Every structure is written in structure tokens, then in C-alpha cells.
Structure 1
């Protein structure tokens, strides 16, 4: 039996669609999905797969140990911050293979962004090595693809609403966003090619780098907006985020976001392309439906 976390989420739904394909050799296997009580399970219920639902909290260690009984493979999509608890439960249940979806944030030059991720992965590497359980780690770049993605969706709203558009240091920093559909396809291929992917680490980035300013302009073109981009030096932008952090009594913290806005985040996915035919779409193609979804939701709100 294969345990899935995050299957009701953004990239998880595309993973599920692949598993559910009539021609998939994985659609005959049995699955158990850990799901929050607030999650939308419509796609799971409509699936022809044999999926047992386990409702619970990934921070509940007792629940996790019980949920991982009789599991051979763990595919954890729900985030790096719960990985340690999932891995510990997997070890106690002697699973055969663990797949973890983490983040390229681990490569950030800013300690505030990378230090915690590095620490988590080092600890996982140590305890799984002692247990002889192979671990595959997938590291997506910035994820987009739906109006709830919390990344590019924010850019879309900003481009739509701000005629005078402030950018940090001319926004001339390359990014490589990855579409959630490409991630779902990659998860499927990793599972399908177990003999090749077991125990390896892969970066899952978009097709090619694109400057942040060009992301804004691509979105603006699709929205049919004309924006005036005003560049703000990084020290001033960071000072503003720090002051906001202080006056909000540390409740609003954009400091890391501002830092990472001026940090080049481009990564090769050649290993993934070689091992399981990972060929993601270009941003210019992937963003079209997200902007369309945004405009449709805006029309509904205004009516």
C-alpha cells in the first residue's frame, strides 16, 4: 500500500489524475491518503483508484504511526515542515521507500530562508541512513498554476490593481517558476520509475529562466493592462519590510520575501529530464489559464 499526503492540494490533484489514468500501471495499487477534515475530497471520491482516506493531523505523531501501518511507500507532498514526523512514523513502520517533496529554498544564500531546510534534510538523511530506508527528495522551484498558489497569484492581483507598480531593483532577477501540473506529472513518473529514482534528489524547475520584470509584463499583457514600473533600491525595500514587521508586532513578516525577490533562483532540472523524462512547460504557456481563472473569479465577485 502507498501512503499519500497532500493529494488534495494543488500539485497533488494532478498527481491523482495521472494515477487514475486507465492506462496507468499504478492504478491497480492500493493507496491510503492522509487528509485534513477541511480538505476538498471531491476528486478523490470520483477516482476509480482504491484509496482509503485517513483524516487527521500530520503533526499528530500517534495518528501518523497508526496511518502508516501496512504501508510500503510514503509519498509526502504536504510540505517540508512535517517531513520529520512523517519520516519518524515511516521508520517505526519499516516502510520500503520514502519520497519527500521539499523546496529549492534550501539553496538560498539567506540563512533565514535556508537554514531550517538544511537542518531538516540533514536530520532526515541521518535517521534514514541508520534505518537503511532509501529517500528520494524532490525540490520544486516557485510553484504556480492556480489562483490559490500564493506565489504568482499575488503577482496577478498586483499587476491588475496597481497602475504605478513598485519593483525592487528593476526586478531584473531570473526566476524559474514551475507549473503545478508539471509537478503532478513528475510525482507520477518518480513513482513509476522507482528503480531509477529511489534514493536520489531532483530539482523540479520550470522550462527556462525568466526575469521577474518579464513575469510582470507577461501577466500585464494577458490582463490587457499598462503599468508604470517604478524601481525601489533593495535597502529601502528591505527597511520598509522590517518596519512593517515591527509596527505589526511581528505579525506581518515580509522580510524573507523581499530578500528572495532580488535573489536569482534558477536551477537545472537535467537530472529529472534524464531519469524520468521531465520536460516542463514554459511560463508564458502555463500562466495563461491562471490569468483566465483570475478574470473569471473577478467577474463572479463583481456580479
Structure 2
């Protein structure tokens, strides 16, 4: 069964509204739902659309026009706007409809969803994939249950029949996880990018091995996000400060050891980190997976 057929057969609605459709994730969801001829899709964004909207999609001039007849509303707006936009959508949505938001930080918007009208099914989800992901791929979504975990899980499964769903029990826990998974990752790559941008990176890539090549690919892909998004991801999550401070403390400690005269002290810290990591994951498997990924990318490049 194709992904288009799966959407048609599993999605329990007829009309979908995408708010924030001019953004990169909004565009992804617009095209995802537009694949199904059984769905009517309407979109709204206060910003100018920089891509061609599919012919089957209706562009609306206001949030009200976009959502008032929709069975399902998905909101894809910046973190700083999510609370106000959710509240506005809830004002105009019809009885029995469903609403989902996809923000990367959940604490404030979760409280709005929890206090929403009881006739509205609210989904608090976090898509763990980017806008370049193919719509036919198996994707991962995080679900933070708002009122009824089983019902919300079924609904999310109907939207994404090929999705892997991980449930996180509450918004604070989600935000703390994201401080590491997103915040710390973006922070260290931003720092690395700052250093590399002041060097002869082209020459370094020519002489570099696989580890540097893969790391710079990650850094460059993160910097492909808009400055506004990166800024929000780093500043809006209150847990970021804690983990960035921990990172800097660890970096300072290791820097002192590397710069010091005791070579064995450096070896001991490497062994200690490796030992702790091996209790949490299989570093040997990660090493092999790393090189399998490199071989896959080489094969992909050769096909171009």
C-alpha cells in the first residue's frame, strides 16, 4: 500500500487546515496531506509563500477562514507564537474537531491544550524529523498525552500510519530531554561552526578524514536552519542553561587536563568517559554504524 493510500484509508477526517504553512515544516505538512485526493486542505500564513501551493489546496486570508470548517488543524508556527496562535484557532474551531501543534518546547502550550474546550481533541506532538525528510519514509513523532493517551495515540497513528511514536509523560520532561537532544547539539555545533568559519575550511575538508567530514556535515546542516529558529531553540527552553553550563564545565575540566603536564590524567578521563558510555550504549556498534552510514552516503553520491 502506498503512503497516499494509507492516508486515505486511515485518516478519520475530510478537511485539514495547516497554520504556518509558508514555513518549512508547514510546507512539509501541506504537501503531505495534499497527497490524498480524499482530503480538502486549507492553509494560512501571515508570511509570503515562497513555494508553489498545490492546486488542490485552498489558501485562506485569516486563521478563522482556515480553521472554522476543518476537522483537523495542525499548527506549525515559531515557538514564540505558538501559544497565541493555538488560542486563536481554538476560538473558531467547530465542535468535535481536533488540533495538533508541533513546537519544540511544550510547557506553556501544553497548559493551553489541557484547558481547551472538552469537545476538541488536542494533540501535543513533536515531529523528530526535518522538512527535507521524504514523506514516504518512516518517521518518528513524540507524543505528550494531554487528556486521553490511548485516544491521542490512535489519532496520531491515523495521521502517520508509518510513524514510530515515543510517548513522554509530561511537558517538563520533554523540554528537559530536548535541552540535550536539540539545545546542546545546536549549541556545540554553533560553537564549532564559529571556529571553522574563521579557518580555511575548504583545504581542511580536502585533507580531512571521515570523522571530520561527518561532523562538518552535521554542523553545516544545522546552520541551514534560519537564524530565528536557532535562536528560539537556544533561548526559549529554560533547561538549556543547565546543560550548556554542564557542557562548559566539562570542557573546562578536559581543557585543563589536555593543557597540563600529567599525560596519565588525560588518559584516565578518556577511559572514565568511555567506561560510562559503554554502560549506556554499545560504542563498538556505533563505530560500525558510523562507517556503514559513510558507505551508504558514498553509494548515494555515486548514483547522482
Normalising by the smaller structure, the TM-score range is 0.3 to 0.5
TM-score, normalised with respect to structure 1: 0.43
Larger-Rg structure: 2
